[in-house]
Amino acid sequence: MSPQIVKSVGQAIRYTKTDKSRIIFDEAVIDTLMCYRQNSSLKVEAGGLLLGRHLKGGSHIAVDLVSEPMRGDRRTRTSFFRGRGHERFAHECWHNSKGVFAYLGNWHTHPCMYPLPSETDFDDWRNVLKNDIYEGKNLYFVIVGTKGLACWEGCSQHGKFVKLEEYIFP
């Protein structure tokens, strides 16, 4: 499967969830993720949490912001350790938004064009699906390749991961 081509700056990206509603990555989120693309051999792996809203009147999800690499993380060219700071960031967002901004999943980068999850990635995804606390039964996982991103939906009920298709307005 080909990766999503990088959009011109200032465009939200949408994926169709398995329930046919959508997850929307805000243009500012896309811009941030694109900054961490490992498109030069000097750039190390990056990652963080996806945060945003469960929208009213349906089951659309809006990713409004992400946590970015911070103290306590460990970063190399091919690995990323997400430290404790990300939870603190998520809790701050939750409090500041009076309990609206939710934890929706996580993201990290790959130094290749076609992002595919590694066994280490699947281990992390399975672990957080099972042991984290979050709203609903799904978490979303983004891998940022050198050309663009790909998104998987994880379900806590059967522990499966489904790669989502990009959604374009009709």
Partner 1 sequence: MADIQKQFEKFHDNIRLANENRILKEKRDVLKNNLGDALKKNDDAPTVDKYLLQGSYAIHTGINPPNSDYDIDIGVVFDCTKEAFGALKLKNIVKEALDHSSRDPKLKNPCITIQYTKDGEDEYHVDMPVYVKRDDGKGYDLAWGKNSSSEDWLHSDPEGLVDEINGKYSDEDERAQFRRVVKYLKAWKGMKFTAFTIPSIGLTLSTWEMFAPDIDFYDNSKNDLAALKKTVARILSAFRWVAGVEGKSLYRLQICLPVSPRNDVFEKLTDQQMTELKDKMESLLDTLKYAENEERSEKACKELKKHLPDFPVPSTLETAKASVLSLNNTGSSS
Decide: helix, strand or coil at residue 62.
strand
Measured from the CB atom, the residue of 35 and 58 that comes closer to partner 1 is 58
What gap in Å lies between CA 117 and CA 4, rounded to an integer? Answer: 16
Q: Does 18 bind partner 1 (CB under 8 A)?
A: no
Q: Which stretch binds partner 1 (CB under 8 A): 31-39, 90-98, 145-153, 158-166?
A: 90-98
Active site residue 92: no
Using the 8-state DSSP alphabet, how is residue 97 labeled? T
**C-alpha separations of 127 from 3, 105, 170 in Å:** 26, 12, 37
* One residue of 121, 141, 144, 153 binding Zn ion per CB under 5 A: 121
Asked if residue 25 binds partner 1 (CB under 8 A), the reply is no
Amino acid at 87: E
- Tell which residue, 75, 65, 83, has the closest CA to residue 38: 75
Run of H or E including 34: helix 27-35
Catalytic residues: 45
Binding site for Zn ion (CB under 5 A): 118, 121
Chain residues that interact with partner 1, rule: CB under 8 A:
14, 22, 24, 45, 47, 49, 53-58, 60, 62, 64, 78-84, 86-87, 90-91, 94, 97-103, 106, 108, 118, 120-121, 123-124, 127-128, 131-135, 169-170
